[in-house]
Homo-oligomer: A and B are copies of this chain.
Amino acid sequence: MNKNRRKFTKNMGMASAYGLIMPQVMYASTKPKMMDKTAMTRPKILFFDVNETLLDLTQMKKVVGEVLHGNEELLSLWFSTMLHYSLVTTASGRYEHFGHIGAAALQMVAANHDISLSKDNAREVVLNSLRGLPAHPEVHSALQQLKDHGYTMVSFTNSSNEGVRKQFESANLTQFFDARLSVEDVGKFKPFKETYAWGAKKMGIQPKDAMLIAAHGWDVAGANWAGWRSAFIKRPGKQQFPLAPTSEIMASDLQKVADVLVSFR
């Protein structure tokens, strides 16, 4: 058994203890990513995605369902449409607030089901809902653990500056973060590579010293391709993008990600 193989075996034991869901690439690669020297080293700064990663979107299902006359199952289609059109906007060299794009997406999904929804009404529904989302149950204790272990933590979101400020107030998350970054200040939504470059530069670090923690396949894909490290929270309904590199940590909630991160030196 060579050195890498021994480390791999030891690590698999640790992973199992943490209840980690290991990415498939772990089994296919001769040199598992978590065994890599860099991967066992602490990232200088942890960047946290916000919507779905820290905040629980499921209560929006009911609100969106009411607007769409009971079609709660359209929440996924609405969210996917919002994400698609955020990139449509950036790809066209434009910028609009994420909430406004979400409202426009809701108008489109509604119209496709013969439901007329005014711009003002759609914005009220989307902004009020997004800004009052609760944190996932494990988030407060996991963030506290990471803070206690000396990590510098930054939020990094597609939501506007005002939006994330209100979201954090409502969910009682403000105190955990050393800075709040919004793509509003760079004018391009994640996962545009320029946005990750801006985020790392803004915090005064190299891309390789940044780690993104997110529950979206597209976000960790963008971070990985931008030279960042990443941890993927595999919440229900979330998948990594099969055509992108997998994240070095993959686990079912933030506590399990934190348990790995505090073991890094």
Interface residues of A (CB under 8 A from B): 73, 76-77, 80-81, 83-85, 87-94, 96, 100-101, 104, 107-108, 111-112, 119, 191-193, 217-218, 221-222, 225-226, 236-239, 241-243
Contact = CB atoms under 8 A, between A and B. Distances in A.
A222 B241 CA distance: 25
B243 A92 contact: no
Nearest to A218: B88
Given A73-B73, A91-B91, A91-B222, A96 B243 contact: yes
Contacts of A93: 193, 225
9 contacts: A77-B80, A87-B87, A88-B221, A92-B193, A92-B221, A92-B226, A93-B193, A108-B217, A108-B241
Main DSSP-derived SS at the A contact region = helix
Contacts of A89: 243
Given A77-B80, A80-B80, A92-B192, 10 more contacts: A87-B88, A88-B221, A91-B193, A92-B191, A92-B225, A93-B193, A94-B225, A96-B243, A112-B237, A119-B242
A71 to B, nearest CB: 10
B87 A242 contact: no
A217 B100 CA distance: 16
